[in-house]
Structure 1
Amino acid sequence: MAVADRIIVPLDVASEREALALVERLPQVTFWKVGLELFVSSGPGILEQLKQRQKRIFLDLKLHDIPNTMAGACRAAARYGVDLLTVHAAAGKTALVDCLEAAQTGAADVGIQPPQIIAVTLLTSIHARALAFELKVSLELTDYALQMALLAQESGLSGVVCSPQEAAALRQVLGSEFALVCPGVRPAWAGKNDQQRSMSPADAMQAGATYLVIGRPITAAAEPAAAFEQICQEISE
């Protein structure tokens, strides 16, 4: 897989118009993330627009509810033809298994390939102190992420979202075929923003990331296309 195809750029904007303007500015980007804000504001229309442009889609809704509700949402989302769809591992094994089966059913209903269901281990905005003192989780941060990833793998899911700082430990245990989608990736020349557990793109790839989610260093740059190319070059060196 080419380096450029392993970088997912978030469409973290408030409208379909803004999203499509960004897509037009970055024609070399093949994989786009549609998150909660854009999906809620524009609906599935943005997904159709991306598919018309032959783009891959990461529908990052981070579903977390009772199993029946999550499964229904996955069944519906699978019919849009997205490539990756996120759910929260903390919903439990029953929910994860039901989501996988529902996505397969939903895709089969319309004769397309089902999305890969990717479980969120722990948001990259959560640091070790917050995990221990706010969420009252006694495990070390990496151990907690690993347990959530193992639960996802045992449930038949295709991969997880994890911080690049946990990627090496997860890759060692989970094997080479399990997808690791890593947000919180920041080149040295970009700020961390609200990401508490970040890493450079090259280091994240070396740690075992399958895909890197890189937003503001690209989308907020004065020249987004040049920033994207610079990141690709840094990874390739």
Structure 2
Amino acid sequence: MTLDAARERLIIALDVPTVAEAAAVVDDLGDTGLFYKIGYHLAFAGGLDLARELTAAGKRVFLDMKLLDIDNTVAKGVEAVARTGVSMLTVHAYPKTMTVAVEAARGTELCLLGVTVLTSMDDHDLSDAGYHDTAAMLVMKRARAAQLAGMGGIVCSAAEAEGVREIVGHDMAVVTPGIRPSGAAAGDQKRIVTPGEAVASGASHLVVGRPIVGAGDRKSAVIGILTEMSSAFSE
């Protein structure tokens, strides 16, 4: 896979507190960055307007809202997001929620992603929350539910990507956060892997934030990750 093709699969997380900081990252990366994630932190600080600006400029946007609510609220939310022109939107991988979201997005190009288990959570965290399944078991259950609902893909740790890929086949996106290049700090992530390991495990898209946004030379950081991804996708 070429570096240009890998750019379509690298999602740069704009996990910064202000639109000005996010815009500075985008400007700094220029054509090196193509696909950006906007989550709660930035969305609540004006990031939804930035999402529209990015799509208008030819960039792709992954809106990480993790929707979960009553059916009508989820449906109206998905419909509104689809009109912004963003490429991806997350909802929690509850069967009913996903079914409603899929119907609301029908006829649009919006790719819906089911969030399985947050990468900041491990088996102990799930036990504390009242779940009897391990993280891996719950991810696989929710991957099956996402496939049955007709979702465009799922979000999971790269540690579970291989098993998920076996369940969903090759048509669905498998988006993996918690990616850390060799030598990078883990931060608050508990289930992390390198870009090459994620691709080898079956991930189609990688979400990388702090190793890029916090780098002294952001372009070089992106190119290094793209190079590793390109090599892994070609193997």
Q: TM-score when scaled to structure 1?
A: 0.92
Deviation at 1:164, TM superposition (A): 0.2
Aligned: 1:84 with 2:88? yes
Question: What is the aligned partner in structure 2 of residue 114 from structure 1?
Answer: 109
Question: What is the aligned partner in structure 1 of residue 158 from structure 2?
Answer: 164
CA separation of 1:233 and 1:43: change in aligned 2, threshold 3 A: closer
2:96 maps to a residue whose letter is T
Distance 1:204 1:211 in 2: 9
Question: What is the aligned partner in structure 1 of residue 225 from structure 2?
Answer: 231
Distance 2:13 2:160 in 1: 21
Deviation at 1:235, TM superposition (A): 2.7
Question: What is the aligned partner in structure 2 of residue 173 from structure 1?
Answer: 167
Q: Deviations over 1:112-146 (max 9, x none)?
A: x43111010010000111112x1221122211101
2:28 maps to a residue whose letter is R
1:22 to 25, 32, 46: 25
Aligned: 1:9 with 2:12? yes
Q: TM-score when scaled to structure 2?
A: 0.92
Q: What's the Cα RMSD here?
A: 1.3
1:26-45 alignment runs, 5 A limit = 26-27=29-30, 28-45=32-49
* Residues 163, 182 of structure 1: 8 Å contact kept: yes
* Residues 5, 29 of structure 1: 8 Å contact kept: no
Question: Sequence identity, in percent?
Answer: 38
Aligned: 1:102 with 2:96? no
Structure 1: tracts of 5 or more residues without a match: none
1:123 maps to a residue whose letter is L
Question: What is the aligned partner in structure 1 of residue 95 from structure 2?
Answer: 93
* Residues 143, 167 of structure 2: 8 Å contact kept: no
Q: Tell me whether 134-143 or 218-227 shows the greater mean CA deviation.
A: 134-143
Deviation at 1:44, TM superposition (A): 2.6
Q: What count of residue pairs does the alignment treat as equivalent?
A: 227
* Residues 68, 95 of structure 1: 8 Å contact kept: no
Distance 2:50 2:226 in 1: 26
